[in-house]
Chains A and B, each alone.
Chain A
Amino acid sequence: MTREQITSAILEIFRREFEMENPGLDDNLRETGEFDSVDAIELLLEIERFLKTELTHEEKQMAMEIRTIRQIIDYVELLAKKRNENGNKQDR
């Protein structure tokens, strides 16, 4: 999964679920006032759907510090990479 694919998927989630068209990647989501903590939970559920796996408690905790869409993309990229590596290990 490439960073471009992840970016496009995250932006699509923001458009579809939160009715936010073209949000700035570095905007502080909390400060824009359009994205509250219930939305954050919805986003985590969407990320689970996107990755097709449940997030661990530690992974959810990691998300507590996220403030911008760019950080969300970094976060999903990291999770995807981790799952990919775990998948490769199991294949060996």
Chain B
Amino acid sequence: MNNAEAGDNRRAAVFAVRNRIRDFAVTVILWTYYSMGFVVFFSPFYLSALFFPAHREAAFQRLNHWFHRLFFVLLRTLAPKVKWRITDAVNDIRSSVIIANHLSFLDPLLFVSLFEKQKTIVKSDYFRFPFFGWILRTSGYIPSLAEGLFAANMVDQIKKMREYLAAGGNLFIFPEGHRSRDGRIGPFDQGAFKIARLCRAASIKVVLIRNTDRLFPPDRFLFNTREEHVIEVELAGSLEPDYESDAFSLPGLMAEARSLMERKGV
């Protein structure tokens, strides 16, 4: 190995270490905001919302929305190589059940940041966390129903959901149930579509997410801020099912949603 090659190798190693330190710093800043930012900047607003029981759920959702909006402002600032393309058609979604593919832990946070009125289905285990679980419950989010044949409070949640959707709220669901490891869409769980049917959701929006897994890959602790890529969130299509029709079928609805995503080349 000559001196020039050795120098190149040394520079590459230094560059790699510098990148990892940068990723580490970005990750620490972001998760510090997520924990301490909540306590310092947002907890007073959450606490004051407790004094207005009638509007508590809506206030918590609005606060969640602004908390996550700021998270993404910070993320965009700290990862300038990553470009974001979120279409107006997605930003304008209201009164809908949103079905989306799932690539990264960022996906649900992104949806919370996009919609002021938002509910989602969250892994039941998270509801057991002392403080986080309380925020989830008060925000009206729904446990993933993994346990118990009958979930008593779920009946009330579902009843309220029709009204919530009619008032402009969105319910977003990732029907794959977990993050894709290869970018392809996995098998859909019927649950998301059954909930849409139960709520008689007039509008189902099928949304496609791309590249969030490149910024925050599954099973990784660090954000990857070095790569240049575009995170895209676009509307793949809309479905307006006629639940009362004899022709309606749940597998049919699932196949339609899947085909809308696949038409976009996923």
Contact = CB atoms under 8 A, between A and B. Distances in A.
Whether both chains belong to one complex is answered with: yes
Interface of A: 29-30, 36-42, 44-45, 48, 55, 57, 60-61, 63-67
Among all A-B residue pairs, the 3 with the closest Cβ atoms: A60-B152, A37-B145, A63-B150
Contacts of A42: 194, 198
A61 B152 contact: yes
Contact of B198 (A45, A57, A60): A45
A37 B152 contact: no
Given A38-B198, A41-B151, A48-B155, 4 more contacts: A29-B149, A41-B154, A41-B155, A60-B152
A42 B199 CA distance: 10
24 contacts: A36-B190, A36-B194, A37-B151, A37-B191, A38-B190, A38-B191, A39-B194, A40-B149, A40-B151, A41-B150, A41-B154, A41-B155, A41-B158, A42-B194, A45-B155, A45-B158, A48-B155, A55-B155, A57-B152, A60-B155, A61-B152, A63-B149, A63-B152, A65-B149
Interface residues of B, number: 18
A44 B153 CA distance: 11
Nearest to B198: A42
A38 B194 contact: yes
B190 A66 contact: no
A57 B156 CA distance: 10
Chain A binding surface SS class: helix
Contacts of A40: 149-151
B198 A44 contact: no
B6 interface: no
Contacts of B146: 37
B150 A64 contact: yes
A37 B155 contact: no
A37 B148 contact: yes
A36 B152 contact: no
Nearest to B148: A64
B194 A30 contact: no
A7 to B, nearest CB: 19
Nearest to B149: A40
Contacts of B148: 37, 64
B194 A66 contact: no
A51 to B, nearest CB: 13
B230 interface: no
Interface in B189-205: 190-191, 194-195, 198
Interface string B57-88: 00000000000000000000000000000000
A60 B137 CA distance: 18
Given A39-B194, A41-B158, A64 B145 contact: no
Contacts of B147: 37
Contacts of B195: 38
Contacts of B152: 57, 60-61, 63-64
B150 A30 contact: no
Interface string B131-175: 000000000000001111111111100110000000000000000
A61 B155 CA distance: 11
Max chain A C-beta neighbours (<10 A), residue from B145, B155, B194, B195 = B155
